[in-house]
Amino acid sequence: MVRVGLARPTGARPLLGPALLGLLVSLASVSSCAIFGEGTAGRGSLRFHASFPVVHLYGTPEEMGAQYGALLKGAIHRTYRDVAGPFLSTMGGAAAKDRLRVETRPMLASVPPSTMAEMKAAAKAAGIDEEEFLLFNLMFDVAHGGARIGGCTTVAVTGVASATGEPLMGRNFDLPETFFGLASLGLVVVRHPIRGIAWAAVTHPMFAGTHAGINDRGLAVGATAGQSGRGYDPHGISSMMLFRRVLEEAITADEAEKILQNARVTVGTTLMVLDAQGGNFVAELTPRKVAFRRPNRNTLYETNHFVSAELREDVVCSRFAWLDEHFRGRRGLDEAGVLRVLSSIGQSTTIQSMVFFPARRAIALSTGTIPATTGPYVFLSSEDLFPTR
């Protein structure tokens, strides 16, 4: 494992016993090739890059949805079985599912018609009940409304903090054991609409929204979800649907900020945005208020708590404190340096680790092992993500 040669934050110590962690790592290391299969569906395709699956979808929302469902049919059913099943069990089983149907119904109104059309077409092509598909994509906001379930970390360097001046954003995606089944299901899905911006989501099967991604104009986003204690609004927009909208519509950080400023979210969450010119901020969002934080000496970072003057939480996060001490204001970091920071801050619950290169429209990504910060990282170039046709 790569390290920066500094003490790890206390919050990054292993959270699981060695035997259980070893079993979960073994289960998560199932080859992607055994889960995903290369192929085409209409204009869409699934291809492997160094054994990592990348899906390309083209056309109208309905066409992209049909391609998605056909290419990922088996993986979608596996995701629903291995993720939704255990998740619903922790929420209370069948009774919770009925409750979630009621609680997510108001959120449907905030889903853009194009995204709704894509989801319905995907469900049909995958042979899964449409209502189940929609419920899966909204129910996690209800969970966040009750408890903090993430542990992610996002960092960015711009200007003199970058060795070359190239803006870089690193992100560790952490989830509790209930979701470890996702580790072997990681993929990148690139949507190429007939009109508008093409965008790539670092994601898992069945998720129509996203928690991280980059578009073909060089705008990258990474979320660090967590319940903020600042309210819950079932009539708001699902956070992953909102983050998808940012990638679909924004080219610069300023444009992304305008979208987020006017958003009405369901629950408290945070999102880091970095554009190709180095525009960078963290948005701290609640159903009632949004606050923005800017880089400090060309570095910016976020964990799972609000720290802005407007929304500050009375919580001590050891990962954030570590970044305050060892990352803030550092100069001359390159890709390897960002990876060392991600490794040092990583936890035993990190199921994906990634670096975004907005100026190059590229991603370096590790997924499939736990913790993902042990690598290896697969580099996906602009041509891999946004090929010229």
Instruction: Tell me, yes or no, whether 1 lies in a domain.
Output: no
Angle at 339 between CA 338 and CA 342, to 5 degrees: 90
Torsional sign, CA 30, 34, 38, 39: negative
Number of H helices, E strands in the chain: 12, 16
Instruction: Tell me, yes or no, whether 315 lies in a domain.
Output: yes
Residue 201 pLDDT level (bands cut at 50, 70, 90): very high
Q: Give the pLDDT confidence score for residue 94 in this predicted structure.
A: 78
Domain limits at 267? 10-382
Which residues face 333 on adjacent strands? 162
Instruction: Tell me, yes or no, whether 194 lies in a domain.
Output: yes
Instruction: Tell me, yes or no, whether 18 lies in a domain.
Output: yes
Q: What is the CATH number of the domain that holds 173?
A: 3.60.60.10
Confirm if 352 and 173 have CB atoms less than 8 A apart: yes
Helix axes 130-144, 239-249, angle to 10 degrees: 100
Instruction: Tell me, yes or no, whether 5 lies in a domain.
Output: no
Report pLDDT digits (tens) over 207-248: 999 999 999 999 999 998 765 556 788 888 999 999 999 999
Helical (H) or strand (E) element with 136: helix 130-144
Phi, psi (degrees; rounded to nearest 5) at 101: -60, -45
Q: How remote is the C-alpha of 218 from its chain's centroid?
A: 16
Domains of the chain: total: 1
Report pLDDT digits (tens) over 348-378: 899 999 999 999 999 999 998 899 999 999 9
Query: Residue 20 pLDDT > 50, yes or no?
Result: no
Which amino acid makes up residue 104? T
Residue 18 pLDDT level (bands cut at 50, 70, 90): very low
Rounded CA-CA distance 375/231 in Å is: 37
Rounded CA-CA distance 122/128 in Å is: 9
Q: What is the DSSP string of 96-135?
A: HHHHHHHHHGGGGGGS-HHHHHHHHHHHHHHT--HHHHHH
Rounded CA-CA distance 169/302 in Å is: 11
Which residue, among 258, 265, 220, has the nearest Cα to 239 in the 3D structure?
265
Instruction: Tell me, yes or no, whether 2 lies in a domain.
Output: no
- Between 74 and 145, name the one with better pLDDT: 74
Report pLDDT digits (tens) over 131-142: 999 999 998 887
Rounded CA-CA distance 133/119 in Å is: 7
Rounded CA-CA distance 146/368 in Å is: 29
Q: Would you state the structure tokens that stand for residue 321, as one six-digit string? A: 């404190």
Query: Residue 21 pLDDT > 60, yes or no?
Result: no
Instruction: Tell me, yes or no, whether 4 lies in a domain.
Output: no
Residue 150 DSSP SS3: coil
CA dihedral 44, 35, 150, 322 (to 10 degrees): -100
CB atoms within 10 A of CB 75: 23
Report pLDDT digits (tens) over 311-324: 988 888 899 999 99
- Section 262-275 average pLDDT: 92
Query: Residue 6 pLDDT > 50, yes or no?
Result: no
Phi, psi (degrees; rounded to nearest 5) at 15: -100, -5
Place of tokens 């159903």: 287
Which amino acid makes up residue 327? F
Which residue, among 255, 226, 257, 256, has the nearest Cα to 239 in the 3D structure?
226
Residue 382 DSSP SS3: helix
Instruction: Tell me, yes or no, whether 259 lies in a domain.
Output: yes
- Section 254-275 average pLDDT: 94
Rounded CA-CA distance 210/202 in Å is: 7
Which residue, among 176, 171, 204, has the nearest Cα to 346 in the 3D structure?
171
Question: Residue 341: which region, alpha, beta or left (left: phi > 0; alpha: psi -120 to 50)?
Answer: alpha
